[in-house]
Amino acid sequence: MYAFLSRRDGIGWASCALGAVALAVLANLYILLARPFGATEGIPIDQTGPIGAIIGAIVPYVWLFLFAGMGSSFWLIVREQRQMPRQAWLVILLIALCVLYPVYTGSLNVPQIALAGNGVVIAVAALAILRLWPASRLAALLLFPVIAWVGLASLALVALLTGQRF
C-alpha cells in the first residue's frame, strides 16, 4: 500500500489527495447523519452574524479542499521514499485529528470543547509545517490553509461564546 501511495506519478498523488477527500466526506456524513452524543444541529456559528453565516454555510466544502491539500502534502513527503519519513506521520496525525474532530469534540455540541479541539488542530498543523519545511516547502505550504481556516472558525467560536457579532 505504501509503495502505491509513494509513487512519483499522478496516480500516487491522486490516491493521496482523493483518499484524504474521501475521509473528509466520511467525517461530514458522520456529522450530518449519525448525530452522535445527542447532537442536534451542532454549534450555531451561522447565528453570530454575516461572516459566521458564510462560515457555517461553506464548512463542509472548505474541508474537502483542506483534506485534498493535506493528502497532497503527504504525497510530496513520501514520494520516492522507501520508508515513510517521520514528517509524513505528522501529516497523518493531522488528517486523523481532522477526521476525528466531531468525535473528540462531542459532535460540536459544546463551543468550549470545539475551541480546545481547534487549538489542538492548529498546534499539530504548525508543528507539521515546521517539520516539513526543510524537506518540502510546498508540502508545508499546503498545510497553512488548515491553520487559517481553523483560526477563522476559532474567531467565530469566540464570537459565539462572548455574544459578539461576527
For 67-91, the pLDDT digits (tens) are 999 999 999 998 867 788 888 999 9
**Alpha helices, DSSP H only, in the chain?**
2-5, 10-29, 50-78, 86-104, 111-132, 137-141, 144-162
CA separation for the pair 137, 1 (Å, rounded): 25
CA separation for the pair 66, 140 (Å, rounded): 13
Q: What angle do CA 162, 40, 107 make, to 5 degrees?
A: 70
Between 56-65, 98-107, 153-162, the lowest mean confidence (pLDDT) is in 98-107
Locate 85 and state its grid cell. Answer: 519519513
Under the banding of pLDDT at 50, 70 and 90, the label for residue 107 is low
User: Where are the chain's structural domains?
Assistant: 2-162
The per-residue pLDDT for 110 is 77
Locate 129 and state its grid cell. Answer: 509545517
Q: What is the mean pLDDT of residues 113-140?
A: 95
